[in-house]
Chain A
Amino acid sequence: MIHQYKLKGYNIVLDINSASVHVVDDVAYDIIAMYEGHDRSSIVAAMLDKYKDTEGVNEAEINECLDDIEELKKEGRLFSVNTFEDRAHVFKQRSRVIKALCLHVSHTCNLNCSYCFAGQGKYKGDRALMSFETGKAALDFLVANSGTRTNLEVDFFGGEPLMNWDVVKQLVAYARSIEKKNNKHFRFTLTTNGMLIDDDVIDFSNKEMDNVVLSLDGRKEVHDRLRVNYNNEGSYEKIVPKFQEFVRRRGDKSYYIRGTYTHNNVDFTKDIEHMYELGFRQLSMEPVVCSPDDPYALTKEDLPVLFKEYEKLADMMIEKEKQGDGFVFYHYMLDLSHGPCIYKRLSGCGSGTEYMAVTPWGDLYPCHQFVNDPKYLLGNIYDGVTNEKVVGDFAACNVFSRKECRDCWARLYCSGGCAANAYHSTGSINGVYEYGCELFKKRMECAIMLQIAKHESEEA
């Protein structure tokens, strides 16, 4: 399978099974489009006709291009065959270690954002804070179930995790104390709305957190429309100076300013530009996840607008890079030469198998988006995983388990997508959230184009 597209003056051909990327001229682009299903003589005739007024396009040239295509095919870099399908199931079944936990240290929040998938931090349940003892048991559970994996990830999440900050600090200290004897290395992430950031949070996080995710939706009027406190007051003025100070003191360490865009701001590149103007350089912007009935839900009519916005974002990145002050956009990060191996590409995010969410009272769910859905309760940190049926369902869920993914060019870039999005839009983790797929494919087209542009500028 191949995927061809034209973007920003580049003719791009992707070979799906090998993940090879080719940049071609117009003639090669058209020959490749005809290659399967036509014999050599009819391709030559069609090209001679189409390019009869173009200098340098003759029979010998077309045949030379066809020879090149055949050579790439022999090398397995064009029209390559799918040899991975059997491995997907076997690998995911084999991989029964847990290496990452989303620790819900706080099921409560000091903001009241209407679009919050976590229902103002309560996840349709009661308000609660995780005790140190529960968190400690969760870390012990992770170590005990992580097999030979060295790198373990823990995300302090909520609700708002800074509402339980002392416990977060105690848990980090405990984790550090057990690393050496267990031959583990913890990588911590803090996801926060910023309201309670102070010097202590900044200093501690900049020392201990590998990554911090700071929620900001962009322009003040956009941010304050949905990210409000319980008096319906916007939070922008309060958090932006805190985020700026946090990031300023963070040095080279990783962070993301993470926004959510909705139907209210489909012109989200303006929000990204605003984040940039505020001094932030590691940015992420996600489409809202909500019921189609919500007033801010993205619509079918928004899609073409969003596609243009993603292209505009790519332009903006090229422009800023040229000016010597580029920025990172999470979904456009791509390392073509040293990116994920085939196993990662087949098995996806690992929710429900190697990644789980832990509630304040120690229950386990496949990920933060399934929390408090009784059908998806996996067990708890004390008794372990007891719901083997659901874990089995997640283990069986891979890029080849959905027909739509099997036929999709983006399958080895997205790896089947988000199980929670699939479940919430179709009722099954084996379903397909088509709207998300459309956005993902557009983002990948732009991300690959940016790699090509980067390659070209490096060569120049």
Chain B
Amino acid sequence: MKRIKTLDTRDLAKSAKNGGCGECQTSCQSACKTSCGVANQKCEAK
């Protein structure tokens, strides 16, 4: 596409079928402790 560049991102619709294993870290266990977000969490599924 000439005017639009799309970055490679995870297909969330697909992750609704194969995601949800729950092995990932809880958001607050790393460095925040007083605020929260999930975007910076890693997915543990291989």
Contacts and interface: CB of A to CB of B under 8 A. Distances in A.
27 contacts: A18-B9, A18-B13, A20-B9, A22-B6, A23-B4, A25-B3, A83-B16, A91-B20, A102-B29, A151-B23, A153-B29, A189-B30, A211-B31, A331-B40, A334-B39, A340-B41, A341-B15, A342-B16, A344-B24, A345-B12, A348-B27, A348-B38, A368-B33, A413-B37, A421-B35, A444-B39, A447-B40
B28 A355 contact: yes
A302 interface: no
Contact of B7 (A28, A151, A455): A455
A201 interface: no
Contact of A19 (B10, B16, B31, B34): B10
Interface hub of A65, A256, A343 (most chain B Cβ within 10 A)? A343
Given A65-B2, A65-B4, A258-B31, A337 B36 contact: no
Given A286-B35, A349-B36, A27 B28 contact: no
Given A151-B25, A339-B43, A348-B27, 15 more contacts: A18-B11, A18-B13, A24-B3, A91-B20, A151-B23, A213-B33, A284-B31, A336-B7, A341-B10, A341-B45, A344-B19, A344-B41, A415-B38, A418-B34, A419-B36
B33 A341 contact: no
Interface residues of B, number: 42
A355 B30 CA distance: 13
Contact of A343 (B1, B3, B20): B20
A5 interface: no
A108 B3 CA distance: 58
Contact of B42 (A83, A335, A420): A335
B9 A342 contact: no
A173 interface: no
B12 A18 contact: yes
Nearest to A456: B5
Contact of B26 (A61, A83, A100, A334): A100
